Amino acid sequence: MKFLSDKITNNSHGQDSSYFLGWQEYEKNPYDEIKNPKGIIQMGLAENQLSFDLLESWMAHNPEAAAFKNPEGESVFRQLALFQDYHGLPEFKNAMAEFMSEIRGNKVDFNADNLVLTAGSTSANETLIFCLANPGDAFLLPTPYYPGFDRDLKWRTGAEIVPIQCFSSNNFRITESALEDAYKEAQKRNLKVKGVLVTNPSNPLGTTLTREELNLLITFVDEKGIHLISDEIYSGTVFESPAYVSAMEVLSELKDKTDDVWERVHIVYSLSKDLGLPGFRIGALYSNHKMVVSAATKMSSFGLISSQTQYLLAAMLSDKKFTKKYLSENQKRLRERHEMLVAGLREAGIECLESNAGLFCWVDMRHLLSSNTFEAEIELWKKMVYQVGLNISPGSSCHCTEPGWFRLCFANLSEETLGLALKRISSFVASEQPVATSPRKSNKSSKRKGFTKWVFRLSQNNDRNRER
């Protein structure tokens, strides 16, 4: 071990979070309707598989794009096969910028020159952290947040995350006091705060930020002289009112665009969720800060998008008739599948946070806990995995401040498989006996204890250091 780097020998990647451990258990025993009908159903994966037929139909009607031919029918394979500049194909960057505007109701114009292409949003987020912070600097993130951020933002950059504590009492909305408390907490830890990162729509909540929250965030970063990163990879999945509002839309309404806050708000985007193409590795970051764009473009050479992928998707995104139809139909399907999950859970006696976007629901299972602790939450999670046969994500893996919340994904399953999952949940709830202690009562000591031990393991390897 002494001949290896600290980076690979420490435990800061977060791979042993219950979020990832659930995936591992699913992979050992995956559900299959024919081959393994009693296997584990994957409800911990935020993939959009509801509209593949629309993409495949476009491909069938536009074979020249997949065959790498130009509109004149001439092959461009050789040109695409050769080395390409890491700035990306201009036609793809233009199409991507226009598609991002279309999702936002064309209320925001994106300049393709300010767009940096990356191999997925994971790369985009990490690149921004490298551009904005030094090792040991901190970013504030509202809880609950996507578990992968502990890897994406921290592992290689050396940055720190300080949680903005949000609570179910106001539906996990961001407040001014929560922002200030997080900032003060970072100062107590002698951490220099370089910015705030939010997901809008939220993963795992499935809710969009309100205009009031966005104004609050921009005012906060303006006053503190820090950055705002708005991860908007689910912006095209908003299927219900209120309508989606981007941080860039609120920023564009500022009267004085010469204010340097204009250069300190950055957008992350991807086609992984809206188009359901995570395997294509299409991500991007957008910034009005010229030095950030320049540095990020240079960094993108470590994770380029293939020219063939850019060429194909440039043709697809430039087809405005298709993109308009796709966004509308995909949102309709998401709404229907969301309603199916919410109704099925309610019939089983389980409620969800009211949401209007995303590929998942934030589910309240506090009444099924044996006690108001994160240990009880993991106990329930293990039952769901091993007894019920569902991989779901416990709130503790998302740094939720309250035990008993879970994220359930609905867009990666067929309608029949989701129906089976709901039957399994209903049977489990019916078999559970009422508990003596109400988990809804406050228990600050158990919350603190559970929060500081957010990484839970299936094994008993207590000799390994826990993630903070």
CA dihedral 452, 218, 212, 394 (to 10 degrees): -20
Residue type, 429: V
Phi, psi dihedral angles at 69 (to 5 degrees)? -120, 145
**How far is Cα 366 from Cα 374, in angstroms, rounded to an integer?**
11
Rg (CA), the chain: 22
Residue 423 a catalytic site member? no
Contact 301, 116 (CB under 8 A): no
Contact 104, 235 (CB under 8 A): yes
- The active-site residue out of 233, 267, 282, 392 is 233
- The active-site residue out of 231, 234, 267, 311 is 231
Contact 398, 14 (CB under 8 A): no
**CB neighbour burial string for 277-298, b if at least 16 within 10 angstroms, e if fewer:** bbebbbbbbbbbbeebbebbbe
Q: Which helix (H) or strand (E) holds 296?
A: helix 290-299
Residue with tokens 């300049």: 111
- The active-site residue out of 40, 183, 273, 274 is 273
Closest CA to 107 of 249, 263, 290, 315: 249
Residue 273 a catalytic site member? yes
End-to-end CA distance of the chain: 23
Token digits of residue 85? 């500049």
Closest CA to 50 of 328, 322, 410: 410
- The active-site residue out of 19, 31, 145, 146 is 146
Residue 259 a catalytic site member? no
Residue 245 CB coordination number (10 Å): 23
Residue 233 a catalytic site member? yes
**How far is Cα 273 from Cα 287, in angstroms, rounded to an integer?**
21
Token digits of residue 170? 């106001």
Catalytic residues: 146, 231, 233, 273
